[in-house]
Amino acid sequence: MSAFRQSVEAMIPALRRYARALTRDADAADDLVQDTLVRALRSERLFLGGDVRSWLYTILTNLNKNRRRSLARRPQFMQLTENNPDASGTEAEGRDIEKALATLVEEQRSVLLLVMLEGMSYREVADIQGVPIGTVMSRLARARAHVKASLEGERPALRRVK
Amino acid sequence: MNDHRISVTEDELHAYVDGELPAERRADVEAWLAVHPDDAERVQSWRAMAEMLHARYDAVAQESVPARLELERLERRPRQWLYGAAAAVLVAFLAGSTVGWVAHGAKAVPSTFQSFTEDALDAHRLYVVEVRHPVEVPGNERDHLQAWLTKRCGWTVFAPNLEASGLKLVGGRLLPGPSGPASFLMYEGPSGERFTIYTAKTESGATQMRYAKADRDGSLFWADRGVGYVVTGGNDRDRLTKVAQAVYDQTEKNGG
């Protein structure tokens, strides 16, 4: 296996984690990872060195944008029932953070996850999203404020003005 | 001289938590937090947030990678239906002059084409496996079928005769389309192979034929006078192209 292939393969677990948090849907997440890998393998010769990791996250982030665009044309399915209300603390917390992520707009969710979950630098995220660092920072600040408000059970629009 | 009196901005608080703050400023921020409990609480909440994210999603990265994501396997059999403009879409260059349209090349893929073809493929997959109830109106009532679908759809729905291709009309049904009703006709060959013709209103007035493939089914799409046609069936592209050409020629003659 080539060095390129090895570095792609090593990234699969982290890509799955990011995709899962991004979509909050196990199947859609693995579809995204699969399409990302297919795209990456196909473009092996176009990859002129550099950071395989950021490149893969860039592909995945863009594919997710396309996915959401095509999803917007389809009926949305929602869970009918809140599953298991007496879940243990960790599970309930997991559900809360999931719900909080759902309140974010796509660019903010992506920034938040790339920085907080995937440990990327602001510079890397700016490259992945193709925006200036200042935009990354303001998206991150807004995302954190929204998630904080959601976790505190507060509607963001009703937050007190300091 | 009191450096920590220089206010710390919100950007700096984020940068501090994310390890992006220049080292020489860290002590200032820490001094600031010691006397600004509101900011200290925010910083603390962001750290807790990161822990929650890891607690919830790190397990996904620990799972063993599913077989369908193995690189070896992906190289052998990529997913056929990629998202968006990456869809495995090719222009079918049909026997040029015998057919009355010009292929303009495989440039942009209009979204109508994709969603339209997806709808048709969904209908195809749903009904071709039906043994007892594949259609609402059977093929031996061809005149009634055509009149009914034409009336409901608002354009001339014509059920072409495909016996030259060895296909017999099974019948048809009315379906909900992307913007109003859609007609759906099914044909069957001697060995049980089934082809379907899906038509619905489309914004693209007229287009060249395009080919798409999903799983085991291939589709040819084109639009003519505001009506989109999708002929779907099997994975033999030459055969599909011949059938689609017959459909095109006959609907053309019948003002369909």
The count of other CB atoms within 10 Å of the CB of residue B75 is 13
| Domain end marker among A47, A72, A97 | A72
A113 domain residue, yes or no: yes
Same domain assignment for residues B199 and B126: yes
Domain that holds residue B33: 10-61
Query: Which residues in B lie closer than 8 A to residue A94 (C-beta atoms)?
Result: 52, 55-56
- Residue A113 sits in a domain of what CATH number? 1.10.10.10
Same domain, B90 and B28: no
User: Is A128 part of a structural domain of the chain?
Assistant: yes
Task: Please state the φ and ψ torsions of residue B101, each to the nearest 5 degrees.
Answer: -145, 165
Q: Is A70 in CB contact (< 8 Å) with chain B?
A: yes
For A42, the domain range is: 3-72
A-B contacts (CB, under 8 Å): 116
Using 50 as the pLDDT threshold, list the residues of chain B that sit under it: 1-4, 78-110
* Candidates A4, A52, A70, partner chain B, best to mutate (most B CBs within 10 A): A70
Residues B188 and B156 in one domain: yes
Query: For residue B5, what pLDDT is reported?
Result: 59
CB atoms B49 and A148 under 8 Å: yes
Q: Are residues A58 and A102 in the same domain?
A: no
Of residues A37, A66, A90, nearest to B83 (C-beta): A66
B184 - beta bridge partners? B173, B198
Cβ-based neighbour number of residue B21 at 10 Å: 18
Closest Cα to residue B134, out of B145, B147, B123, B143?
B123
Report CB contact under 8 Å: A37, B74: yes
Domains in chain A, number? 2
Q: In what order do the strands lie in the sheet with B168-177?
A: B89-91, B210-214, B217-224, B227-232, B194-201, B180-188, B168-177, B137-138
Do B73 and B133 lie in one domain? The reply is no
Write the pLDDT tens digit of every residue in A41-79.
Answer: 877 776 666 788 998 999 899 888 877 776 665 554 444
- Would you say residue A83 lies in a domain? no
**Residue A157 in domain:** no
B164 plus B199 within the same structural domain: yes
At B255 the pLDDT is: 59
Domain count, chain B: 3
Residue A152 is classified by DSSP as T
For the record, the structure tokens of B185 come out as 């006709």
Q: Are residues B97 and B123 in the same domain?
A: no
Whether residue A160 is contained in a domain is answered as no
- Structure confidence at residue B210 (pLDDT): 81
Q: Which of B46, B61, B76 is the last residue of a domain?
A: B61
Does B93 share its domain with B118? no
Q: Does residue B201 share a domain with residue B245?
A: yes
Is position B2 within any domain? Answer: no
Instruction: Report CB contact under 8 Å: B69, A5.
Output: no
Shared domain check, B204 and B249: yes
pLDDT at position A44, please? 76
Q: Are residues A61 and A29 in the same domain?
A: yes
Q: Are residues B121 and B159 in the same domain?
A: yes
pLDDT the model gives residue A62 = 87
Residue B162 within a domain: yes
In a shared domain, residues A98 and A40: no
Asked if residue A68 is part of any domain, the answer here is yes
pLDDT tens, position by position, B172-229: 999 988 888 999 999 998 878 899 999 998 877 677 788 887 777 888 888 888 899 9
Residues B125 and B96 in one domain: no
Residue B143 covered by a domain:
yes
Q: Give B247 to chain A, closest Cα distance, Å.
A: 29
- Asked if B182 and B248 sit in the same domain, the reply is yes
pTM for the whole thing?
0.55
Given this model, what pLDDT does residue A73 score?
A: 58
Nearest Cα neighbor of A18 from B53, B134, B245, B117 is B53
Residue A136 located in a structural domain? yes
What pLDDT, on a 0 to 100 scale, did the predictor assign at position B83?
A: 38
* ipTM of predicted assembly, 2 dp: 0.85
